[in-house]
Amino acid sequence: MRPLWIGAGVLGSMALSSVLWAQRSNKAAQTHPDGLRESRGQDVHYELKLVQVLFRHGARTPLKSIPDVLEAQWAPNLLKAPVHTQVDYVVTDLSGGPQPPAPLEDKYRAKILSGGTFSGQLTTLGMQQLYDLGERLRKTYIEDFPFLTPYFSPAEVLVRSTNIVRTIESARCLVAGLFQQKQKDPVTILTTEAENEILYPNYDSCQLLKLLGGPRWAESSKLPDIAADLRNIQSDLGITAHQKVDFVVIRDDMIAREVHGLPSPPVLDRWRSTVEQRAVEMMYHIYEPSKAKSLQLSVGPLLHALISNIEDKIQGMPSWACSFRKLFLYSVHDTTLMPCLMALGIFDMKWPPFAADITLELHQHRKTKEAFVKVSYVGKDQLLPGCSGIYCPLEEFKKVMSAYAVSFDHYRSLCK
């Protein structure tokens, strides 16, 4: 049996408009000549066996405000939870014990924004975004294709989240949308202590990642084109030279204001596309996808866990998650999705929007019994480099991931 953390271990904006989810084929269900039913997005030659969804939390308050710029008013009424996003849930550690301490959340709550709320908090808009994602998944896996039971069942669905309020609440809202608040049991949302978290690049516990990534963060703002634009936007915004600011901070506050309809400095209007571009370029430099080591240390054990879940399902191995599980839900961050997209070879040089998802489906060919993996991003099927088709043979998928996926034990040895 694999260690408990692996089965559970898989497992912070968005442009002016809300996310337009790209739908799969809208072809109505029809009868195939061999008598099988064909549903939207499901090929009759393949049987769906397992779904794993990594999703970013919804819209939130900014992590930091742009220095020397008038802050937006983040009033508590922006955080009110809609009734339809509520479910009966409990947060535990991976073994079902009490929720671990949350040092990252404590840091967010030490920062009170103008208006009275804390930094990094899921807003009403963000809650609705995750509810909408849940409804999209419901249409795909319950209504158009009857894969899941239409009510929440802990024997069928595992929910895992980073130990941060916005991701925990995002998981709750997605489950509410997916199952329309129908449940026979409370939803258990699994978390783990910060030192063992693999659902984001863990600079605090992985010393090698900190050693390699720290200088990359510092370098990213000093790259010639980025540094020149940063000096110019600081001047235009009236930010004093001594303030520590970069395009990631500027983008975070800018997008948070935009999606919530709060005023921004007018000068940002002409800088908007540049801010987006430079922030993404910074992150690309930090993760250094041309070198496997950075992605290994950022999301390697997460990728390994995804593959392990697939292999367990194929082999029918009894594990703590059990082979009957059909859906794994992982509530994560933009800093999780970006390196995952880079490792998969499908990063589009755009910041993952709020409520973006990477979905991995495991299929089995009905005749040959061969296993295939199909990956989608924000509802669009992806052809992975190194795969011979959208339905990627499992061995090809594992080969694509082999440069990045590492076991937790190997990860810990690398980190030290």
pLDDT tens digits along 221-275: 999 999 999 999 999 999 998 999 999 999 999 999 999 999 999 999 999 999 9
Q: How many CB atoms lie within 10 A of CB 350?
A: 14
pLDDT at 11 over 90: no
- Identify whether the C-beta of residue 353 lies closer than 8 Å to the C-beta of residue 15: yes
Q: Which residues are catalytic?
A: 57, 334
Task: State the Cα–Cα distance between residues 44 and 365, nearest whole angstrom.
Answer: 9
Question: In the chain, what percentage of residues exceed pLDDT 90?
Answer: 86
Mean pLDDT of all residues belonging to the chain:
90
Task: State the Cα–Cα distance between residues 170 and 330, nearest whole angstrom.
Answer: 10
Q: What is the pLDDT of residues 118-136, one digit of tens each?
A: 999 999 999 999 999 999 9
User: What is the residue-wise DSSP string for 389-409?
Assistant: SSSEEHHHHHHHHTTT---HH
CA distances from 78 to 53, 112, 124, 191, 257 (A): 27, 14, 6, 26, 12
- The distance of Cα 195 from the centroid of its chain, to the nearest Å, equals 19
Task: State the Cα–Cα distance between residues 218 and 235, nearest whole angstrom.
Answer: 20
pLDDT at residue 2 in the model: 41
Q: Does domain 30-200+293-415 have CATH number 3.40.50.1240?
A: yes
pLDDT at 24 over 60: no
Task: State the Cα–Cα distance between residues 148 and 327, nearest whole angstrom.
Answer: 8
pLDDT at 9 over 90: no
Where exactly are the structural domains of the chain? 30-200+293-415, 207-287
Closest CA to 395 of 369, 364, 370, 361: 370
